[in-house]
């Protein structure tokens, strides 16, 4: 690949030297030359280096057209049908424009958007001056993809009215709940009238809108042009993104390590701040409610009013979220799982990276001792290969558990989003003799088989791998290899996440080195993973041998639900031989499935998952305040049925392996963390069922050496 990119440099110089930089309606803060250079270089990099070979044709043009307009106006509160009709003259021309580095489409839509922003201030200012009609029977559907653009400015104002009315109703409900709480604490407290609460609610919405547009006004042309560039590059796949220089810096801003915060990595997408990763062991991870994919709407310090961070620059938003150890921060979050809005309170702490490392526990069940290994991610330090990595740590942990005379191992890969492919291959090799583990393929090339070259098998006993819908990438490679070799029973949600692609973050200036301005970075898909049985892990992921109900069971979640995700396909099978080391594999699987189907707790989880799916699909809200409160109450009453859905207590006791016990004398913090983890394990219904399966597995056939 390195040789290929060197050859690309010379071709690129020829391309740019003949590029005709065109455009129209440039605004004063634009840098037309830089914009056109970016278009040319990105076009070049994507068409020659991306895993997907994609023609810049009418289909591509339509994607950019729709994606960019949606990126600027996701709630359809700015553009009308007349605007879209005018924009449509470029609908199937954008591909041709980009080939010529012509950004006329961008300039037309961007300049119209700026004028619409000015109008918006008039709309919300006038609408919030007087009370809404809260007795009117009307609804609003927040699934804006189903909504048509407004026919006229009058209809556009009505869209604004409904959205502002819903925000006000939500604030009214908030204020009434506040009064109820005060009255419960003090029966002499005099509740406020509806009219006074309503006025306060409108004022709060007005303040929120004014703050939003102050922040929008602070955004520069480069911020909106990044939205356009992401509309272009996203046509190649959902994991391909453009990052401006400042966005790359904030993307790398990790609230972990020595920083005091919540332990989450955030990324800006349009005007919204998204959670892209939780640091294992961090405050947010421990609290348990914040999830990857959630959108942060507001941030509130303890005993202070929340601050709306929609439209706020990422580095500014992070300043509000970070804070001293032991202080509270409340995040108002739009949940990815069902689109609901939820307040999540997290106690800040110093996030210690050692919580992302391998750890183990020992448990006694039915007179047998078993080991549990938690692997939060496949970590490695590329700058210092002598530093600890997940493969080395896993090898040590297995040896320590063998010293404890455990009879089986349970490896927990839930929420493990992946990491180093090298360590995944090496860890797989700990459980099989040498042989293929995964196949990796570049575009237009034959797949390359990655093998475990160590003939030794460190653990030949019973093995269960626990996964869920958030187990992705390297986790899926390991789980797939164990499944293909029949080395382990895979237990968890119906299927894993399904991310079977590899991305590289490439500095764009590398392809135009003599340019004196920073061009940013391109995160681009360059490889695809395949199982040793030939099937891709892309979209399909790994199907569990034993599927257990989870809250994700019926949700739109995973790679398969991402627009433009690469398709599943297959390559020839690698040369490997299944081990078939269990004499009762099928019986254990069948018994577990029957046990799960007849368990009232799992039945309740399944019912809860169906309810979540219905909530995800129901995007309508009544704008009649009396009806709104009634529906809200009905939701609350029904949801109480699921208050105990994940409340569970086993009779199992989990302990640290012997090597850890002396460490607790000088490290009370470590002891407290292990005690908390062991307590959670005892309340984990999925761990309990995994141990049931592990305790029943019987090794009956000696493992055969896997030959290439």
- From the list 335, 499, 528, 613, the catalytic residue is 499
Round the average pLDDT of the chain to a whole number and report it.
Answer: 87
* Contact between residue 36 and residue 21 where contact means Cβ atoms under 8 Å apart: yes
Question: What's the pLDDT band for 211 if we cut at 50, 70, 90?
Answer: confident
Question: What's the pLDDT band for 275 if we cut at 50, 70, 90?
Answer: confident
Of 503, 583, 577, 490, which Cα lies nearest the Cα of 538?
Answer: 503
What is the spatial distance between Cα 510 and Cα 8, in angstroms, rounded to a whole number? Answer: 11
Tokens in use for 147?
Answer: 């909504």
What is the spatial distance between Cα 646 and Cα 664, in angstroms, rounded to a whole number? Answer: 31
pLDDT at 221 over 50: yes
- From the list 338, 452, 484, 545, the catalytic residue is 484
Of the chain, the percentage scoring pLDDT greater than 90 comes to 55
Of 307, 244, 323, 271, which Cα lies nearest the Cα of 517?
Answer: 244
- Tell me the CATH architecture of domain 355-500+536-595+649-696: Alpha-Beta Complex (3.90)
473 is catalytic: yes
102 is catalytic: no
pTM, two decimal places: 0.84
pLDDT digits (tens, 9 = 90+) for 290-335: 888 888 988 988 888 888 887 777 777 888 888 888 889 999 888 8
* Contact between residue 567 and residue 539 where contact means Cβ atoms under 8 Å apart: yes
According to the per-residue pLDDT averaged within each range, which of 116-120, 478-482, 556-560, 607-611 is highest? 478-482
Question: What's the pLDDT band for 2 if we cut at 50, 70, 90?
Answer: very low
* Contact between residue 430 and residue 703 where contact means Cβ atoms under 8 Å apart: no
Tokens in use for 144?
Answer: 């804006």
Tokens in use for 689?
Answer: 């069922």
Q: Where are the alpha helices (DSSP H) in 583-646?
A: 585-597, 600-617, 625-639
For 617, list phi and psi in degrees, rounded to 5.
-85, -25
Q: According to CATH, where is 3.90.226.10 located in the chain?
A: 355-500+536-595+649-696
Of the chain, the percentage scoring pLDDT greater than 70 comes to 91
* Contact between residue 429 and residue 392 where contact means Cβ atoms under 8 Å apart: no
* Contact between residue 90 and residue 65 where contact means Cβ atoms under 8 Å apart: yes
- In Å, what is the CA distance from 687 to each residue of 373, 648, 704? 11, 11, 30
Residue 386: predicted pLDDT? 66
Of 558, 522, 35, which Cα lies nearest the Cα of 230?
Answer: 522
Cα torsion 42, 46, 50, 53 to 10°: value is: 170
More confident residue, 455 or 674: 674
- Point out which residues pair with 362 in neighbouring strands: 371, 655
Half-sphere exposure of 364 (CA within 13 A, CB side): 4
Q: What is the mean pLDDT of residues 574-585?
A: 91
484 is catalytic: yes
Handedness of CA 371, 377, 381, 385 (dihedral sign): positive
What is the spatial distance between Cα 134 and Cα 138, in angstroms, rounded to a whole number? Answer: 9
- Point out which residues pair with 265 in neighbouring strands: 254, 277
What is the spatial distance between Cα 507 and Cα 510, in angstroms, rounded to a whole number? Answer: 6
What is the spatial distance between Cα 632 and Cα 41, in angstroms, rounded to a whole number? Answer: 51
Residue 486: predicted pLDDT? 95
pLDDT at 413 over 50: yes
Q: According to CATH, where is 2.30.42.10 located in the chain?
A: 258-350
- From the list 101, 473, 553, 622, the catalytic residue is 473
Q: What is the mean pLDDT of residues 38-56?
A: 88
Between CA 66 and CA 70, with CA 68 as vertex, the angle to 5 degrees is 65
Question: In sequence order, what E strands does 92-159 have?
Answer: 139-141
What is the spatial distance between Cα 72 and Cα 57, in angstroms, rounded to a whole number? Answer: 23
Question: What's the pLDDT band for 7 if we cut at 50, 70, 90?
Answer: very low
- Tell me the CATH architecture of domain 258-350: Roll (2.30)
Tokens in use for 299?
Answer: 């941030």
pLDDT at 246 over 90: no
């Amino acid at each position: 690949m390195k040789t290929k990119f060197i050859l690309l440099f010379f071709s690129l110089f020829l391309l740019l030297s003949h590029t005709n930089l065109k455009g129209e309606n440039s605004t004063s803060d634009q840098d037309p030359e830089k914009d056109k250079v970016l278009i040319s270089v990105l076009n070049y990099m994507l068409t020659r280096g991306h895993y997907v070979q994609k023609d810049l044709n009418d289909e591509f043009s339509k994607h950019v057209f729709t994606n960019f307009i949606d990126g600027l106006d996701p709630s359809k509160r700015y553009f009308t049908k007349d605007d879209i009709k005018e924009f449509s003259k470029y609908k199937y021309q954008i591909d041709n424009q980009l080939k010529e580095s012509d950004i006329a489409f961008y300039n037309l839509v961007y300049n119209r958007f700026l004028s619409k922003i000015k109008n918006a201030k008039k709309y919300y200012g006038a609408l919030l001056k007087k009370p809404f009609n809260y007795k009117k029977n009307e609804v609003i559907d927040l699934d804006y993809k189903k909504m048509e653009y407004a026919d006229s400015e009058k209809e556009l104002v009505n869209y604004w009215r409904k959205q502002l009315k819903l925000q006000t109703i939500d604030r009214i409900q908030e204020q009434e709940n506040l009064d109820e709480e005060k009255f419960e604490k003090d029966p002499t407290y005099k509740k406020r009238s509806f009219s006074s609460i309503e006025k306060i609610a409108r004022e709060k919405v007005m303040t929120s809108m004014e703050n939003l547009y102050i922040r929008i006004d602070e955004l520069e042309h480069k911020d909106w042009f990044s939205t356009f560039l992401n509309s272009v590059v996203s046509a190649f796949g959902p994991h391909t993104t453009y990052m401006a220089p400042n966005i790359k810096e904030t993307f790398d801003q990790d609230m972990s390590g020595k920083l005091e915060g919540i332990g989450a990595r955030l990324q800006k997408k349009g005007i919204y701040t998204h959670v892209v990763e939780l640091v294992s062991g961090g405050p947010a991870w421990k609290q348990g409610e914040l999830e990857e994919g959630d959108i942060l709407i507001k941030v509130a310090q303890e005993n202070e009013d929340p601050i709306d961070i929609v439209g706020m620059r990422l580095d500014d938003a992070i300043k509000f979220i970070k804070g001293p150890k032991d202080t509270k921060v409340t995040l108002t979050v739009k949940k990815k799982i069902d689109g609901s809005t939820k307040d999540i309170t997290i106690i800040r702490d110093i996030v210690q990276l050692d919580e992302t490392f391998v750890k183990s526990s020992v448990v006694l069940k039915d007179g047998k001792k078993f080991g549990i290994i938690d692997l939060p991610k496949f970590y490695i330090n590329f700058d210092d290969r002598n530093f600890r990595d997940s493969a080395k740590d896993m090898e040590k942990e297995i040896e320590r558990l063998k010293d404890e005379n455990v009879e089986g191992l349970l490896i927990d890969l839930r929420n493990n989003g992946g990491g180093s492919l090298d360590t995944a291959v090496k860890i797989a090799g700990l459980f099989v003799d040498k042989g293929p583990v995964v196949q990796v393929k570049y575009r237009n090339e034959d797949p390359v088989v990655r093998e475990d070259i160590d003939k030794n098998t460190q653990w030949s006993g019973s093995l269960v791998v626990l996964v869920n819908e958030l187990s992705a990438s390297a986790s899926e490679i390991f789980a797939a290899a164990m499944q293909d070799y029949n080395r382990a029973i895979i237990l968890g949600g119906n299927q894993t996440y399904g991310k079977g692609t590899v991305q590289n973050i490439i500095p764009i200036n590398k392809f135009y080195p003599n340019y004196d301005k920073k061009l940013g970075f391109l995160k681009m898909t360059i490889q695809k993973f395949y199982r040793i049985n030939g099937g891709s892990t892309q979209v399909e992921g790994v199907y569990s041998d034993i599927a257990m109900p989870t809250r994700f069971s019926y949700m739109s979640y995973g790679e398969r639900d991402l627009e433009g995700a690469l398709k599943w396909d297959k390559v020839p099978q690698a040369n490997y031989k299944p081990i078939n080391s269990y004499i009762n594999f099928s019986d254990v699987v069948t018994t577990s499935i029957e046990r799960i189907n007849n368990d009232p707790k799992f039945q309740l989880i399944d019912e809860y998952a169906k309810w979540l799916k219905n909530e995800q699909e129901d995007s309508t809200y009544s704008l009649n305040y009396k009806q709104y409160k009634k529906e809200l109450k009905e939701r609350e009453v029904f949801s109480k049925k699921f208050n105990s859905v994940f409340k569970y207590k086993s009779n199992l006791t989990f302990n640290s392996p012997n090597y850890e016990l002396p460490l607790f004398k000088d490290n009370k913090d470590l002891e407290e963390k292990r005690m908390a983890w062991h307590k959670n394990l005892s309340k984990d219904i999925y761990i309990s069922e995994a141990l049931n399966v592990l305790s029943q597995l019987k090794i009956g056939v000696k493992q055969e050496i896997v030959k290439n």
